[in-house]
Amino acid sequence: MATENRINFWRRNAKVPGSVQPVYGAQHPPLDPRLRRTYPKDTKPKFNNLKSKKASSFHEFARSTNDAWDIDEEEDEDFLSTPAPTLSSPSGHHSTSAQDQQQIQDDGTETGVSDRLAPPSTEALDFQDVQEEDAEYWEHVNGKVVKSSSDAHLNMSSVCSSLQKQQSLPVRAIIPLVARMSDQNASGAPPMTVREKSRLDKFKQLLASPNTDLEELRKHSWSGIPREVRPITWRLLSGYLPANKERRELVMKRKREEYFGFIEQYYHSRTDEHYKDTYRQIHIDIPRTNPLIPLFQQPAVQEVFERILFIWAIRHPASGYVQGINDLVTPFFVVFLSEFVKDVENSEVAALPLDTQRNIEADSFWCMSKLLDGIQDNYTFAQPGIQNKVKALEELVSRIDEDIHNHFKRYEVEYLQFAFRWMNNLLMRELPLRCTIRLWDTYQAETEGFTHFHLYVCSAFLIEWRKEILSMVDFQGLLMLLQNLPTIHWGNEEVGLLLAEAYRLKYMFADAPSHYKR
């Protein structure tokens, strides 16, 4: 009977998992406020009312939803009909058109709570200012954003009503759009503190030495790398460049020439019968990569990603290209682009000098290759690396928090149903891109950061939502929560706490396989 239901389900629904649809999550929140699924920390997500009938098993859940990763067809149509976002205004502020996203402020590697919550001046609440500054967004404590009067679909009365409500509520400071991707001391960010300047000086001193002490560099990188020195630090920690300063330029020049030699040798074969399916899948997946960040929708950027992924795929036939690898290019590309432009999110890559574009592309390829060399079993046939990591996560959570583990068992939630994506994409679909970059600072500083330490980060990430998880009393509510965790407001402070908890778990459990085991 279950088999028949599954067959009928797929026959009834034209959309199937993996089809080209918008992906929602930390990086990709819905544009329509009706579709919003982000919640403040102090409130419970009420997923129980999503469907009138509670689903108690995976197959019942499958019958009641089109796809656990997507929203309804009608909502997709609303999403696709939403106007394109406005990137910038003459006044220097940045905004998005109809996108109800929470704005957050990242002050650097370690942010101050008082700075983040500092209210704007009372002049900012004046309605005339809102009319003149059409790019300003105001956000109150519950995470709802009141958009400026430049949005054509908002009439005058609705704006006035919203502003009157806002006057009685605390308001967060306005953050430039670029701060959502480039977190540390980008345009509009606060000036560096004395401690941040001291850390930056220490990094510069290490990097300027004739032979960089990589162990000391890892030690300082664990708590975050200053934006100014992040590109060269990532190249060193990934193993792309040598510690010897005199050899770096020579090695970098040789590796860049080698990459473009691969392009000349292999890229023309993308239309061959043997490789056309690989290229087709890459070509389909590229537009899905951070679809709401305009930078990744630029044709020049998409062409770079296509070349990087295709060359990597044909040079690694054991795995080839697997969906999810496309996400792993983005942090490297953004970090190396930030070396040449300050306003990363709104930069026009095609306007950069050709040599600069080629250098960014080649460096992104080699650093991504170094990363994938350590986790390639995640992408070989049947993806055994991911299967093993998910099982390890299940075993670890059963020892860390038995209540959560038993709660999943009670409502028949399998770890594979939510943690597969955590391992396949290294939490990139669960966290904003700025948080991923900060997370990777630590991963590159850790021994086996992308493999062993990532397991403890996933465990800490799951335990972070303990209260919300235990409040869900049905299968559907649990799965929807776990696949749409409200992290849109996260910044360096939250990632720092997550990493600290992961380190504590690693210290307690890594070398004690029977610790707390029942």
3-state secondary structure of 211: strand
Give pLDDT tens digits for 45-94. Answer: 444 444 444 445 555 655 554 444 444 444 444 444 444 444 343 344 44
In DSSP terms, 244 is beta-bridged to: 211
**In which band, very low, low, confident or very high, does the pLDDT at 409 lie, cut at 50, 70 and 90?**
very high
- Find the angle CA(101)-CA(104)-CA(108) to the nearest 5 degrees: 150
**In which band, very low, low, confident or very high, does the pLDDT at 4 lie, cut at 50, 70 and 90?**
low
Q: How many CB atoms lie within 10 A of CB 14?
A: 9
3-state secondary structure of 316: coil
- Would you state the structure tokens that stand for residue 224, as one six-digit string? 């975050």
Q: Is the pLDDT of residue 352 over 70?
A: yes
Spatial neighbors of 418 by CB under 8 A, at least 6 apart, are 479, 482, 483
User: In the chain, count of helices (H) and strands (E)?
Assistant: 22, 2
Helix 416-424 to helix 454-464 angle (10° resolution) is: 130
Residue at 29: amino acid letter: P
* DSSP class of 140: B
Using only the alpha carbons of the chain, give its radius of gyration: 23
Phi and psi at residue 45, in whole multiples of 5°? -70, 125
Q: In the chain, how long is the greatest CA-to-CA distance?
A: 70
CB 448 within 8 A of CB 389: no
Q: Per mean pLDDT, which range of 27-31, 72-76, 299-303 is the poorest? A: 72-76
CA distance 97 to 443: 35
For the chain, residues classed under CATH 1.10.472.80 are 384-510
What pTM, to 2 d.p., does this model score?
Answer: 0.67
Mean pLDDT in residue range 335-346: 91
Residue at 250: amino acid letter: L
Per CATH, which fold does 384-510 belong to?
Cyclin A; domain 1 (1.10.472)
CA trace torsion 330, 333, 338, 344 (10° rounding): -50
